[in-house]
């Protein structure tokens, strides 16, 4: 699915984010930037040790914030590491923290002159955020951001399963 808002394409595809050649890809990191499983493990495996070297120097990233490193051996130029919330029951600030993670990632990309960015579905794996609720927060935040800022030309979601692609597509159709 693809649509355009304020000069920026919003795309939803199924795929593996480590293969993306956008200016930056976003990593669903943990707050110690220590690496882990899921998309984080995949990005470090494909990107190589230069990414972890920079993560160690940065030291950490609070939930809802974002930091940037080299893309190492990835096709993408940079990795933006953001930390989504661990989902408890939805009443512990999870939506705000998830929205912050997306917004901070987009702001960081803009401030570095990055025009194209790929996101995974942050927090919906190990961190347990229900995909439908997460897709609403993610897409609302991204739509609001691209309406308010120029500079980005492509924001792509790279979803790892058909089920997630279907969920995000349904949400986007409802929001526009
Ligand atoms: P979190 O800890 O934020 O929940 P996870 O990495 O456990 O992060 O999961 C986030 C999402 O990333 C899940 O939907 C998972 O299926 C997906 N994912 C895992 N590997 C990849 C990959 N290579 N490319 C894109 N998405 C991926």
Question: What's the whole-number mean pLDDT along residues 137-144?
Answer: 98
- Domain range 2-175, CATH architecture: 3-Layer(aba) Sandwich (3.40)
Sorting pLDDT into bands at 50, 70 and 90, what band is 29? very high
Q: Is the CB of 126 under 6 A from ligand 1?
A: yes
Sorting pLDDT into bands at 50, 70 and 90, what band is 114? very high
The span from the CA of 77 to the CA of 86, in Å, is 28
Answer yes or no: 40 catalytic. yes
Give the pTM: 0.98
Quick one: what percent of the chain has pLDDT higher than 70?
100
Averaged pLDDT of the chain: 98
- Distance between Cα 120 and ligand 1 center (Å): 6
State residue 94's pLDDT score: 98
For 167, phi then psi, to 5°, come to: -60, -50
Q: Is the CB of 122 under 6 A from ligand 1?
A: yes
Show me where the domains of the chain are located: 2-175
What three-state secondary structure class fits 14? strand
Nearest alpha-carbon partner for 161 in 32, 41, 12, 5: 12
The residue whose C-alpha atom lies closest to atom 1 belonging to ligand 1 is 123
Structure tokens belonging to residue 72: 């190492």
The residue whose C-alpha atom lies closest to atom 5 belonging to ligand 1 is 125
Sorting pLDDT into bands at 50, 70 and 90, what band is 56? very high
């Amino acid at each position: 699915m693809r649509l355009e808002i304020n000069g920026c394409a919003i795309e939803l595809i199924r795929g593996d984010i480590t293969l993306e050649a956008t200016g930056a890809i976003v990593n669903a990191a943990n707050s110690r930037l220590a690496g882990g499983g899921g998309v984080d493990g995949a990005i470090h495996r494909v990107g190589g040790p230069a990414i972890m070297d920079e993560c160690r120097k940065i030291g950490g990233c609070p939930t809802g914030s974002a930091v940037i490193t080299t893309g190492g051996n990835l096709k993408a130029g940079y990795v933006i590491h953001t930390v989504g919330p661990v989902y408890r029951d939805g009443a512990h600030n999870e939506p705000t923290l998830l929205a912050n993670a997306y917004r901070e990632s987009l702001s960081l990309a803009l401030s570095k002159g990055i025009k194209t960015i790929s996101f995974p579905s942050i927090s919906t794996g190990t961190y347990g955020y229900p995909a439908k609720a997460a897709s609403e927060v993610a897409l609302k935040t991204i739509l609001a951001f691209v309406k308010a800022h120029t500079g980005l030309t492509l924001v792509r979601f790279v979803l790892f399963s058909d089920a997630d692609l279907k969920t995000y597509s349904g949400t986007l159709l409802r929001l526009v």
